[in-house]
Amino acid sequence: MVREEIGKLIEKAIKELGYKVSEILVEQPRGKEYGDCATNVAMVTGKESMRIAEMIKSRIKSSIIEKIEIVKPGFINFFISKEYLQKQVGEILKEKEKFGQKIHPVKLSRFQRDTAKGGFNRVNIEFISANPTGPLTLGNGRGGFCGDVLANVFKKAGYKICREYYINDRGKQIEALKKGFYKGEKRTALQIQKENQKFITKKLKIKFDVWFSEKNLYKNKEVDKILNWLKKKKLAYEKDGALWFKSTEFRDDKDRVLVKADGEKTYFASDIAYLKNKFERGFDKLIFFWGADHYGYIARLKAAAEALGYKKEQLTVVLMQLVKLFKEGQEFKMSKRTGNYVGLEELIDEVGLDVARFFFLTRSPDSHLNFDMDLAKEQSEKNPVYYVQYAYARVSSILRKAQNNFQFSIFNFQLLNHPSELNLIKQLIRFPEIIEDTAKDFQVQRIPQYVVQLADAFHQFYENCRVISEDKELSKARFALISATKIVLKNTLDLLGISAPEKMR
């Protein structure tokens, strides 16, 4: 990665100057006029940031960099050399579907040891986990697609991944549901779960590695064992006839009930047993996708993790905000009572799986999502899904024509000099950085945003550069660039779980 290489050059220069910096940030600047990469390291190194920036600049020499500019109050802006960019086309063609893939997992936080030296590399991602009381909702869909894509990202980033679905098949809500049916319908809750499972696997195309039943925690006495362990460790106490967990010892705002006065065990008791079960299965990092209404539950879960002897950083909860449907510019008010309701299955039937996945992924999970039904059904470049898939289909069409008109095996990448060509290459080589950043901060919306930018760069290249020309060597080089574009587009669409059509209808 160019960003990583520049980071190493900066680190070397800082060491030569005798400065110490805990972390060197190299980021993509907001405007092209500020270069391809930028760092604020001079400003965090000392007071005389402009002088320090100049000193760092004078010590950096590399064929990767065309020029370095210093901007007040001390930013160092790097412009990537044309020669470096040209060579990257060959690297992408060589790596193909492995482009962007990590051998050793991306380091996620400071507490994590170097994975190449025995640090953690097994991640459990739990998502959807809907109560088996009815069809899946739009919120379930949003969490499902975000969780599935994040799992794809972690796998690409070098981690061993487990997608897990927690079946809430015990508790008063399920029992009440059963009692509400006639004797012949007692298995309705189980049937709903089976239908949801089939829908997730067949229609959403999400493959879970583990379907974990809450009932098994009780069947295997895991809940009783954890309660006894907490009492033995003096982390649980009795008060007013109930059993309480000393959650406040781990920075929760109050202690939490494990067993009610009537003897009924709480969901939290199950959750602690489930947490222990996951860690004992060898997972080092646990990620949960929950609805935003579960915000108040995070502190107690992290407290439980610490009580079990794990670091709170090993557990992350991603909260999903609400989804609102819009039709003809107006919010579509939904109500189950009036029958004015659109579930996840109805939405996918109406707009298609590819569009639903993409649209659900376009906003940060902690932001409300307005789903524009009219735009989702649009078969034009206004629809970002159509726009990206059209770019892939166009790339595929060009390469089919190339096979009929040219016999080529060696390309002269030095012929790729046009600004649109170089801009396209810059977008292509961002792909590994997109994976690394998303693995660190879980902001999956970065991926659909990136693939639209990549499609933009390709369409601009196609408009400005004639692919088949009288200069056969130039045509070969451009075909190579288009081949690299196809690889990265396909890799990105695969991450999103969206189809890459060779032809558009």
Q: At 53, which CATH number? A: 3.30.1360.70
277 located within any domain: no
486 located within any domain: yes
400 located within any domain: yes
416 located within any domain: yes
Q: At 193, which CATH number? A: 3.40.50.620
Q: Which of 80, 95, 128 is where one domain is finished?
A: 80
Q: Is the pLDDT of residue 469 over 90?
A: no
**What is the chain's mean pLDDT, rounded?**
91
pLDDT band at 182, cuts 50/70/90? very low
Domain check: are 393 and 485 in the same one?
A: yes
Output phi, psi for 426, to 5 deg: -60, -40
CA 376 to the chain's CA centroid: 22
The answer to which of 160-174, 291-305, 306-320, 445-459 has the lowest mean pLDDT is 160-174
167 located within any domain: yes
Domain check: are 200 and 325 in the same one?
A: yes
Q: Which of 23, 50, 80 is where one domain is finished?
A: 80
The pLDDT value given to residue 183: 47
**Rounded CA separation 503/326 (Å):** 30
The percent of residues above 90 in pLDDT, for the chain, comes to 78
**Cα separations in angstroms, 54 against 17, 28, 60, 71, 214:** 12, 20, 10, 10, 60
| Tokens standing for residue 348 | 């996918």
> Are the C-beta atoms of residues 346 and 339 closer than 8 Å to each other?
no
Domain check: are 338 and 418 in the same one?
A: no
**Rounded CA separation 222/227 (Å):** 9
H/E/C letters for each residue in 18-68? CCCCCCCCEECCCCHHHCCEEECHHHHHCCCHHHHHHHHHHCCCCCCEEEE
Whose tokens are 């039904």? That residue is: 373
Domain check: are 390 and 369 in the same one?
A: no
Domain check: are 46 and 135 in the same one?
A: no
Q: Is the pLDDT of residue 157 over 50?
A: yes
More confident residue, 221 or 408: 221
Domain check: are 346 and 438 in the same one?
A: no
| Tokens standing for residue 166 | 């927690």
User: What DSSP string runs through 310-362?
Assistant: --GGGEEEEEE--EEEEETTEE---BTTTTB---HHHHHHHH-HHHHHHHHTS
| Tokens standing for residue 169 | 């098949």
**Rounded CA separation 497/357 (Å):** 8
More confident residue, 177 or 77: 77
CA 309 to the chain's CA centroid: 28
Hey, is 122 helix, strand or coil?
strand
- Environment class of 61 (CB within 10 Å of its CB; exposed 0-12, middle 13-18, buried 19+): exposed
Give the CA count within 13 Å in the CB-facing half-sphere of 19.
23
The pLDDT value given to residue 410: 79
Length of the chain measured in residues: 505
Task: Domain count for the chain, please give it.
Answer: 3
Domain check: are 390 and 492 in the same one?
A: yes
Q: What tens digit of pLDDT does each residue of 343-359 get? A: 999 999 999 999 999 99
100 located within any domain: no
**Rounded CA separation 349/344 (Å):** 9
| Tokens standing for residue 176 | 């009440």
Domain check: are 329 and 476 in the same one?
A: no
Q: Which of 337, 354, 376 is where one domain is finished?
A: 376
91 located within any domain: no
59 located within any domain: yes
Domain check: are 328 and 389 in the same one?
A: no
Domain check: are 207 and 350 in the same one?
A: yes
More confident residue, 47 or 411: 411
Q: Is the pLDDT of residue 107 over 50?
A: yes
Domain check: are 421 and 330 in the same one?
A: no
Q: At 431, which CATH number? A: 1.10.730.10
**Rounded CA separation 119/479 (Å):** 42
Which residues on adjacent β-strands are paired with residue 371?
Answer: 325
The pLDDT value given to residue 170: 79
Query: Which residue segment(s) compose the domain that 421 sits in?
Result: 384-496
Q: Ranked by mean pLDDT, which of 362-371, 405-414, 466-475 comes out on top?
A: 362-371
Domain check: are 401 and 350 in the same one?
A: no
Which residues on adjacent β-strands are paired with residue 340?
Answer: 335
Output phi, psi for 220, to 5 deg: -90, 10
> Are the C-beta atoms of residues 453 and 489 closer than 8 Å to each other?
no
The pLDDT value given to residue 104: 64
Q: What tens digit of pLDDT does each residue of 237-292 get? A: 999 999 999 999 999 999 999 999 999 999 999 999 999 999 999 999 999 999 99
Q: Is the pLDDT of residue 296 over 60?
A: yes
Q: Pick from 28, 157, 6, 11: which is nearest to 84 by CA?
A: 6
H/E/C letters for each residue in 194-238? HHHHHHHHHHCCCCCCEEEEHHHHHHCCHHHHHHHHHHHCCCEEE
Helix H or strand E segment including 123? strand 122-126
Count of helix runs (H) and strand runs (E) in the chain: 19, 15
* N-to-C CA span, the chain: 37
